[in-house]
Protein backbone atom coordinates (compact mmCIF):
# COMPACT_ATOMS: atom_id res chain seq x y z
CA UNK A 1 0.00 0.00 0.00
CA UNK A 2 1.91 2.96 -1.32
CA UNK A 3 -0.33 5.83 -0.29
CA UNK A 4 -1.55 5.18 3.23
CA UNK A 5 -4.72 7.09 4.07
CA UNK A 6 -4.49 9.50 6.99
CA UNK A 7 -6.98 8.20 9.53
CA UNK A 8 -6.78 11.20 11.86
CA UNK A 9 -9.58 13.22 10.23
CA UNK A 10 -11.87 10.17 10.05
CA UNK A 11 -11.28 9.44 13.73
CA UNK A 12 -11.71 13.05 14.86
CA UNK A 13 -14.81 13.77 12.77
CA UNK A 14 -16.69 10.61 13.71
CA UNK A 15 -15.57 10.81 17.34
CA UNK A 16 -16.73 14.41 17.59
CA UNK A 17 -20.08 13.60 15.99
CA UNK A 18 -20.58 10.65 18.33
CA UNK A 19 -19.60 12.60 21.45
CA UNK A 20 -21.70 15.64 20.60
CA UNK A 21 -24.70 13.46 19.72
CA UNK A 22 -24.41 11.70 23.09
CA UNK A 23 -24.24 15.04 24.90
CA UNK A 24 -27.29 16.34 23.02
CA UNK A 25 -29.31 13.21 23.88
CA UNK A 26 -28.27 13.52 27.53
CA UNK A 27 -29.14 17.22 27.66
CA UNK A 28 -32.54 16.54 26.07
CA UNK A 29 -33.28 13.89 28.70
CA UNK A 30 -32.11 16.23 31.46
CA UNK A 31 -34.13 19.20 30.10
CA UNK A 32 -37.25 17.04 29.86
CA UNK A 33 -36.94 16.11 33.53
CA UNK A 34 -36.74 12.44 32.57
CA UNK A 35 -32.97 11.99 32.97
CA UNK A 36 -33.22 9.05 35.36
CA UNK A 37 -36.54 7.59 34.23
CA UNK A 38 -35.51 7.36 30.57
CA UNK A 39 -31.82 6.69 31.05
CA UNK A 40 -32.22 3.42 29.14
CA UNK A 41 -33.24 5.46 26.08
CA UNK A 42 -30.01 7.43 26.26
CA UNK A 43 -27.99 4.24 26.74
CA UNK A 44 -29.66 2.53 23.78
CA UNK A 45 -29.24 5.59 21.57
CA UNK A 46 -25.59 5.83 22.60
CA UNK A 47 -24.92 2.18 21.82
CA UNK A 48 -26.61 2.36 18.41
CA UNK A 49 -24.80 5.62 17.59
CA UNK A 50 -21.49 4.03 18.60
CA UNK A 51 -22.08 1.09 16.27
CA UNK A 52 -23.15 3.46 13.48
CA UNK A 53 -20.17 5.84 13.72
CA UNK A 54 -17.64 3.00 14.02
CA UNK A 55 -19.06 1.31 10.92
CA UNK A 56 -19.17 4.61 9.00
CA UNK A 57 -15.61 5.49 10.02
CA UNK A 58 -14.16 2.09 9.14
CA UNK A 59 -16.08 2.02 5.86
CA UNK A 60 -14.81 5.50 4.93
CA UNK A 61 -11.22 4.55 5.72
CA UNK A 62 -11.48 1.39 3.64
CA UNK A 63 -13.04 3.31 0.75
CA UNK A 64 -10.32 5.98 0.81
CA UNK A 65 -7.67 3.26 1.03
CA UNK A 66 -8.58 1.72 -2.31
CA UNK A 67 -10.94 -0.84 -0.81
CA UNK A 68 -8.24 -2.39 1.38
CA UNK A 69 -7.96 -2.43 5.16
CA UNK A 70 -6.32 -4.71 7.69
CA UNK A 71 -8.01 -5.79 10.90
CA UNK A 72 -5.56 -3.66 12.90
CA UNK A 73 -6.33 -0.55 10.86
CA UNK A 74 -10.06 -1.06 11.38
CA UNK A 75 -9.56 -1.61 15.10
CA UNK A 76 -7.47 1.57 15.31
CA UNK A 77 -10.15 3.62 13.54
CA UNK A 78 -12.96 2.29 15.75
CA UNK A 79 -11.04 2.68 19.00
CA UNK A 80 -9.95 6.18 18.01
CA UNK A 81 -13.55 7.21 17.33
CA UNK A 82 -14.73 5.82 20.66
CA UNK A 83 -11.92 7.41 22.68
CA UNK A 84 -12.47 10.86 21.12
CA UNK A 85 -16.14 10.46 21.98
CA UNK A 86 -15.22 9.39 25.53
CA UNK A 87 -13.26 12.62 26.05
CA UNK A 88 -16.34 14.61 25.03
CA UNK A 89 -18.53 12.44 27.26
CA UNK A 90 -16.27 13.07 30.26
CA UNK A 91 -16.32 16.83 29.65
CA UNK A 92 -20.11 16.80 29.21
CA UNK A 93 -20.65 14.67 32.33
CA UNK A 94 -18.43 16.85 34.49
CA UNK A 95 -20.12 20.02 33.23
CA UNK A 96 -23.59 18.57 33.77
CA UNK A 97 -22.94 17.30 37.29
CA UNK A 98 -20.78 20.18 38.53
CA UNK A 99 -21.94 23.30 36.67
CA UNK A 100 -25.30 22.85 34.96
CA UNK A 101 -27.02 20.78 37.66
CA UNK A 102 -24.86 20.24 40.75
CA UNK A 103 -27.79 18.48 42.48
CA UNK A 104 -28.11 15.79 39.81
CA UNK A 105 -26.07 13.20 41.69
CA UNK A 106 -28.04 13.84 44.89
CA UNK A 107 -31.29 13.38 42.94
CA UNK A 108 -29.98 10.12 41.52
CA UNK A 109 -28.97 8.95 44.99
CA UNK A 110 -32.46 9.72 46.33
CA UNK A 111 -34.03 7.65 43.55
CA UNK A 112 -31.61 4.80 44.22
CA UNK A 113 -32.21 5.00 47.97
CA UNK A 114 -35.97 4.66 47.40
CA UNK A 115 -35.32 1.62 45.19
CA UNK A 116 -33.28 0.05 48.01
CA UNK A 117 -36.11 0.73 50.47
CA UNK A 118 -38.60 -0.82 48.05
CA UNK A 119 -36.36 -3.90 47.84
CA UNK A 120 -36.54 -4.26 51.61
CA UNK A 121 -32.95 -3.41 52.54
CA UNK A 122 -32.33 -2.48 56.17
CA UNK A 123 -31.19 1.03 57.08
CA UNK A 124 -27.69 -0.33 57.81
CA UNK A 125 -27.54 -1.94 54.37
CA UNK A 126 -28.77 1.27 52.75
CA UNK A 127 -26.19 3.36 54.63
CA UNK A 128 -23.46 0.96 53.58
CA UNK A 129 -24.61 1.01 49.95
CA UNK A 130 -24.80 4.83 49.96
CA UNK A 131 -21.30 5.05 51.39
CA UNK A 132 -19.96 2.75 48.68
CA UNK A 133 -21.85 4.59 45.93
CA UNK A 134 -20.55 7.98 47.07
CA UNK A 135 -16.97 6.73 46.66
CA UNK A 136 -17.68 6.27 42.96
CA UNK A 137 -19.00 9.80 42.47
CA UNK A 138 -15.69 11.64 42.41
CA UNK A 139 -14.81 13.24 39.06
CA UNK A 140 -11.71 11.07 38.67
CA UNK A 141 -13.57 7.82 39.30
CA UNK A 142 -16.44 8.82 37.00
CA UNK A 143 -13.97 9.78 34.26
CA UNK A 144 -12.09 6.52 34.67
CA UNK A 145 -15.27 4.47 34.49
CA UNK A 146 -16.33 6.29 31.32
CA UNK A 147 -12.96 5.64 29.65
CA UNK A 148 -12.80 1.97 30.68
CA UNK A 149 -16.39 1.29 29.60
CA UNK A 150 -15.88 3.13 26.29
CA UNK A 151 -12.65 1.22 25.63
CA UNK A 152 -14.29 -2.14 26.31
CA UNK A 153 -17.42 -1.52 24.24
CA UNK A 154 -15.40 0.20 21.53
CA UNK A 155 -12.95 -2.68 21.32
CA UNK A 156 -15.70 -5.28 20.95
CA UNK A 157 -17.61 -3.33 18.30
CA UNK A 158 -14.44 -2.30 16.44
CA UNK A 159 -12.95 -5.79 16.49
CA UNK A 160 -16.11 -7.36 15.08
CA UNK A 161 -16.60 -4.63 12.47
CA UNK A 162 -12.94 -4.72 11.41
CA UNK A 163 -12.99 -8.52 11.14
CA UNK A 164 -16.05 -8.37 8.89
CA UNK A 165 -14.80 -5.50 6.72
CA UNK A 166 -11.09 -6.31 6.44
CA UNK A 167 -9.64 -6.91 3.02
CA UNK A 168 -5.96 -7.17 2.25
CA UNK A 169 -4.39 -6.95 -1.19
CA UNK A 170 -3.52 -10.65 -1.00
CA UNK A 171 -7.23 -11.50 -0.74
CA UNK A 172 -7.95 -9.88 -4.10
CA UNK A 173 -8.30 -12.86 -6.47
Under DSSP, is residue 66 helix (H, G, I), strand (E, B) or coil? coil
**Domain ranges (residues) in the chain:** 8-167
Strands (E) located in the chain: none
pLDDT digits (tens, 9 = 90+) for 44-60: 999 999 999 999 999 99
99 pLDDT exceeds 70?
yes
Q: Which pLDDT score, from 0 to 100, does residue 170 have?
A: 67
State how far Cα 60 lies from the chain centre. Answer: 21
Instruction: Give CA–CA dist 136/147, Å, rounded.
Output: 14
What is the end-to-end Cα distance of the chain in Å, rounded?
Answer: 17
Check residue 72 and give its pLDDT. Answer: 96
Banded pLDDT at 1 (limits 50, 70, 90): very low
Q: What are phi and psi of 161, to 5 degrees?
A: -65, -45
Buried b or exposed e, range 1-40, using 16+ CB within 10 angstroms: eeeebebeebbebbbbbbbebbbebbeebbeeeebeeeee
Q: Is pTM beyond 0.85 here? A: yes
pLDDT in tens, 115-140: 999 999 899 999 998 999 888 888 89
pLDDT tens digits for 16-38? 999 999 999 999 999 999 998 88
Amino acid sequence: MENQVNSKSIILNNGLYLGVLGAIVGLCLWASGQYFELQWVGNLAGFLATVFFIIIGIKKFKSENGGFMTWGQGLKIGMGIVMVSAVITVIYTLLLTNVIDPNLQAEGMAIQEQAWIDQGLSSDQIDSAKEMTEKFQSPFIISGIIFVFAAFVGFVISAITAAIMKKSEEQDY
